[in-house]
Amino acid sequence: MEITAVESFPIKLPLESPVSFSNRTLTFRDHAITYVRTDEGHEGVGYSLGYEGAPLVAEAVESLLRPMLLGEDPRDTERLWHEMYDGTVQIGRTGLLLRAISTVDIALWDVKGKAAGEPLHRLLGGHSTSVPSYASGGYYRDEKGHEALRGEMRRYLDEGHDVVKMKVGRLSAAEEAERVAAVRDEIGDDRTLLLDANGVWESSTEALRNCRAFAPYDPYFIEEPVMIDRVETMATVNDAIDYPVATGELEGTRHNFARLVDSGAATILQPDVTVCGGITEWLKIANYAAAYDVQIAPHYNWNIHASLLGAIENGLWVEYFYRDMDVKAFDDVVADPVRPDDDGVIDLPDRPGHGVPLDTDALATYEWT
């Protein structure tokens, strides 16, 4: 089997109204979409969230990676990953180019699964056929007060979730503690509350002041209290509070994740397969973490992360966003998106490949030109 075509292009999905987290406001979501096609008629697709850089990710695939891939066997995922990574290491290693590699690697595994006639979770290990999810939200909008925040969380409980996540860090520590207290009051003491600061605090002093203000409301973890590169600061926070730090959504490669664990900066890892180097690298990260009994709770992209979590022994939860909350819009281009059942559990797709078929008409509608 040979790769005969590699195509990548950006899409731009508008949000109905601006949405904010601790340090940024968004009006749209963009993704780079990559297709890999073979001489035997198999087609695989991969993707990555662009954070306004999707055109650059797609250009990197077509200009830098495609020449390395044409004529190669798509099933040689390990070899091709190293050729892409090593071939761009002088200008890559993380960030934009690693996202480009991620889109290709995901597409290659999609081809591999289709050629083998196996769904991804079974091809990779078949640990389980369903995985738990949590409802992610609690974003900021101008008109959104405590009652609206409570209503959002009630909706998640009504959907069957016992685990919810909210954003923190945009307001003062006292104001944020009031928001967290409101959510804890709404969901009750027996449900699990997760917090996400998106790296907003610039020092351990500032992070600890906030995290300690949240402690009375029993959060299960605080995500990204400081930016990912401040590993020692993250470790100081993780050591000083009574609940764990989770991080990794912006991190790339197993080596950086090993540093997070080895330094004590993270108790829970959140690798994103569309960011860290694709499925090939995501599995190395998850298996390294398993050796230390570190749990994996991947960031975003529930359609593919559900299958990956179903392949490993140390999976915790899949992050899930409800489309009508107008925060994440990628399901608009997924032909058959996964969805939690009444207990917040996602059944894994049983179709060959990674099981995330995209709607070609929708892709055409939202292509960023």
Nearest to 318 by CA among 349, 293, 291, 284: 349
Active site residue 299: yes
Give the β-pairing of 163-167 and 130-136.
parallel
Rounded to an integer, what distance in angstroms lies between the CA atom of residue 233 and that of residue 220?
20
Amino acid at 306: A
- The active-site residue, picked from 31, 167, 305, 328, is 167
CB half-sphere exposure, 318, CA atoms < 13 A: 28
**Contact in structure between 248 and 271 (CB atoms under 8 Å):** yes
Residue 169 tokens read as 């860090």
Q: Tell me, yes or no, if 167 is annotated catalytic.
A: yes
The encoded tokens of residue 72 equal 């190669």
* Per-residue b or e along 265-296, where b marks 16 or more CB atoms closer than 10 Å to that residue's CB: bbbbbbbbbbbbbbbbbbbbbbebbeeeebbb
Distance in angstroms (rounded) separating the CA atoms of residues 367 and 369: 6
Q: Distance of CA 216 to CAs 84, 135, 179, 192, 302, Å?
A: 47, 22, 13, 14, 30
Q: Which residue has the tokens 């996602």?
A: 346
Where do the DSSP E strands lie in 148-198? 163-167, 192-196
Which residue in 299, 305, 328, 354 is the catalytic one? 299
> Whose CA is closest to 69, among 58, 59, 81, 57?
81
Give Cα separations from 148 to 47, 172, 188 (angstroms). Answer: 33, 19, 17
Residues 133, 143: Cα–Cα separation, whole Å: 28
**Neighbouring-strand partners of residue 200:** 226
CA-to-CA separations, 294 to 189, 286, 313, in angstroms, rounded: 25, 9, 10
- Show which residues are catalytic: 167, 299
